[in-house]
């Protein structure tokens, strides 16, 4: 079985167990230890996978980290484990203290669902405050699985991982900032773009006037890039990647149907609104002559909403609990953000 398939299988296991895990110890034995076992480590060999590893910190003696992975008789990875329901933002200070007192080059903070990987990119022997890699077992991203493979026992190479850690860390942070700017452009980015296109005085009123314009321009640019990619795939006769669970639609595609830039932009807005609930790849669309339907896992019976976008009319159609359509007029697609809660409520019915 390929590593990606192992990860997906493990993800299903975590999904099925997570609500029944009530303690930190249960988290360790049912999820965290099996995770490292999947990476090839012998979690029952105390010379390789050391529980309650002592990491003396300054005048504090006997400080213990939950696990340490050893190689050639020395610790290489420190692991701090928390209960599955813990917010990890409150706990990286513990690892920060342990890191500088051992020879370990990497540290992992986890609650069994999220795994944050740290090293010392900014200052030698001092753990960075931000991880260079973060894996969410319930939201598998295949490009990050390739990075996780480097932590398999059979592939583990300290220098190779460290050499790529800097790019991973900063590209991840930049993507997060860009995603935020797509939702709400910061004043800095507005001033930057105004500096290129606007010669007048950049007062606060001017900045606020241009904020929705710049937001729309950024989102349209991303949409156009995606549209061009889709068009290239279709023109080449290749099949675009689709989720495995996919329904065959009875409606025949019509040559009259053209997915507009505005429809695609609306689709990506909705994907972004639901990204905290399911992997974004699980949100698909089906265009028709009358509307564009947004579905969960490309299943027409799991419709999240429909959008009717005409020249002078835009209507969001959301099914209620009885699958009766609720029609909501909107003046533009950016108002979709105002209906996030309703979209989330629909999607949760299918989970």
Same domain, 168 and 188: no
Same domain, 82 and 147: yes
Same domain, 39 and 166: yes
Same domain, 149 and 20: yes
Vertex 173: Cα angle to 167 and 179 (nearest 5):
130
User: With 50 as the cut, is the pLDDT of residue 241 above it?
Assistant: no
The residue out of 174, 206, 232 marking a domain boundary is 174
pLDDT-based confidence at 116, cuts 50/70/90? very high
Q: Per the structure block, which two tokens stand in for 115?
A: 């795994």
User: With 90 as the cut, is the pLDDT of residue 347 above it?
Assistant: yes
SS3 sequence, 110-135?
Answer: ECCCEEEEECCCCECCECCCCCCEEE
Q: Is residue 225 part of a domain?
A: yes
- Return the pLDDT at 248: 41
Helix 340-348 / helix 261-273 crossing angle, nearest 10 deg: 70
Place of tokens 């105004």: 194
Same domain, 339 and 220: no
Q: What is the pLDDT of residues 36-65, one digit of tens each?
A: 999 999 999 999 999 988 866 554 566 788
Neighbours of 109 (CB within 10 A): 25
Q: Is residue 296 part of a domain?
A: yes
Same domain, 292 and 213: no
Beta strands in the chain (DSSP E): 49-54, 64-71, 74-81, 106-110, 114-118, 133-136, 283-287, 292-296, 303-310, 313-319, 325-329
Instruction: Write down the mean pLDDT value for the chain.
Output: 84
- Return the pLDDT at 17: 92
The residue out of 192, 219, 240 marking a domain boundary is 240
221-230, 288-297, 329-338: segment of lowest average pLDDT: 221-230
Chain centroid offset of residue 191 CA: 29
Q: Cα-Cα-Cα-Cα dihedral of 260, 262, 265, 267, to 10°?
A: -70
Q: Is residue 25 part of a domain?
A: yes
- Return the pLDDT at 244: 42
Same domain, 79 and 131: yes
User: For residue 83, what are the CA distances in angstroms to 52, 61, 115?
Assistant: 16, 25, 12
The set of residues, in sequence order, having a beta carbon less than 8 Å from that of 229 and lying 6+ positions away, is none
Q: Per the structure block, which two tokens stand in for 22?
A: 């009530």
- Return the pLDDT at 245: 43
User: With 60 as the cut, is the pLDDT of residue 267 above it?
Assistant: yes
Domain containing 90 equals 3-174
Same domain, 60 and 17: yes
Q: Is residue 273 part of a domain?
A: yes
Same domain, 211 and 249: no
Q: Are 72 and 102 in contact (CB under 8 A)?
A: no
Same domain, 166 and 257: no
DSSP 104: -
- Return the pLDDT at 312: 81
- Return the pLDDT at 239: 46
Q: Are 36 and 49 in contact (CB under 8 A)?
A: yes
Residue 30 maps to which CATH number?
Answer: 3.90.1570.30
Q: How many domains does the chain contain in total?
A: 3
Q: Is residue 17 part of a domain?
A: yes
User: With 60 as the cut, is the pLDDT of residue 240 above it?
Assistant: no
Q: Is residue 62 part of a domain?
A: yes
- Return the pLDDT at 233: 59
Q: Is residue 179 part of a domain?
A: no
Same domain, 68 and 205: no
User: For residue 217, what are the CA distances in angstroms to 42, 181, 198?
Assistant: 52, 11, 15
Q: Is residue 263 part of a domain?
A: yes
Same domain, 124 and 72: yes
Backbone angles phi, psi at 327, to 5 degrees: -95, 125
Q: What is the pLDDT of residues 275-333, one digit of tens each?
A: 888 888 888 888 888 889 999 988 888 999 999 988 788 999 999 988 899 999 998 88
Q: What is the pLDDT of residues 145-188, one digit of tens each?
A: 888 999 999 988 888 888 888 777 777 778 778 888 888 888 88
DSSP 24-88: HHHHIIIIIHHHHHHTT--TT-TTTEEEEEE--BTTB-S-EEEEEEEETTEEEEEEEE--TT--G
């Amino acid at each position: 079985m390929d590593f990606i398939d192992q990860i997906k299988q493990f993800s299903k296991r975590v999904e099925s167990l997570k609500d029944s895990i009530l303690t930190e110890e249960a988290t360790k034995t049912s999820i965290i230890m099996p995770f490292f076992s999947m990476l090839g480590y012998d979690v029952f060999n105390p010379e390789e996978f050391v529980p309650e590893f002592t990491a003396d910190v300054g005048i504090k003696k006997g400080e213990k980290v939950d696990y340490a992975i050893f190689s050639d008789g020395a610790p290489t990875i420190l692991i701090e484990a928390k209960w599955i329901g813990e917010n990890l933002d409150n706990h990286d200070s513990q690892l920060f203290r342990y890191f500088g007192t051992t020879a370990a080059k990497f540290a992992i903070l986890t609650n069994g669902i999220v795994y944050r990987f740290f090293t010392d990119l900014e200052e030698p022997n001092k753990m960075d405050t931000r991880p260079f890699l973060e894996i969410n077992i319930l939201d598998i991203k295949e490009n990050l699985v390739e990075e996780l493979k480097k932590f398999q026992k059979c592939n583990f190479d300290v220098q190779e991982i460290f050499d790529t850690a800097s790019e991973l860390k900063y590209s991840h942070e930049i993507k997060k900032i860009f995603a935020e700017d797509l939702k709400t452009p910061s004043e800095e980015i507005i001033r930057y773009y105004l500096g290129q296109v606007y010669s007048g005085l950049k007062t606060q009123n001017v900045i606020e006037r241009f904020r929705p314009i710049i937001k729309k321009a950024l989102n349209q640019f991303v949409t156009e890039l995606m549209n061009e990619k889709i068009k290239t795939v279709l023109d080449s006769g290749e099949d675009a990647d689709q989720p495995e669970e996919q329904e065959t639609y009875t409606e025949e595609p019509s040559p009259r149907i053209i997915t507009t830039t505005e429809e695609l932009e609306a689709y990506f807005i909705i994907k972004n609104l639901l990204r905290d609930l399911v992997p974004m790849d699980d949100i698909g669309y089906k265009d028709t002559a009358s509307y564009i339907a947004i579905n969960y896992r490309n299943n027409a019976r799991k419709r999240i909403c429909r959008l009717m976008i005409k020249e002078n009319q835009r209507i969001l159609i959301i099914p209620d609990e009885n699958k009766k359509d609720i029609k909501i007029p909107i003046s533009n697609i950016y108002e979709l953000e105002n209906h996030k809660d309703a979209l989330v409520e629909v999607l949760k019915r299918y989970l």
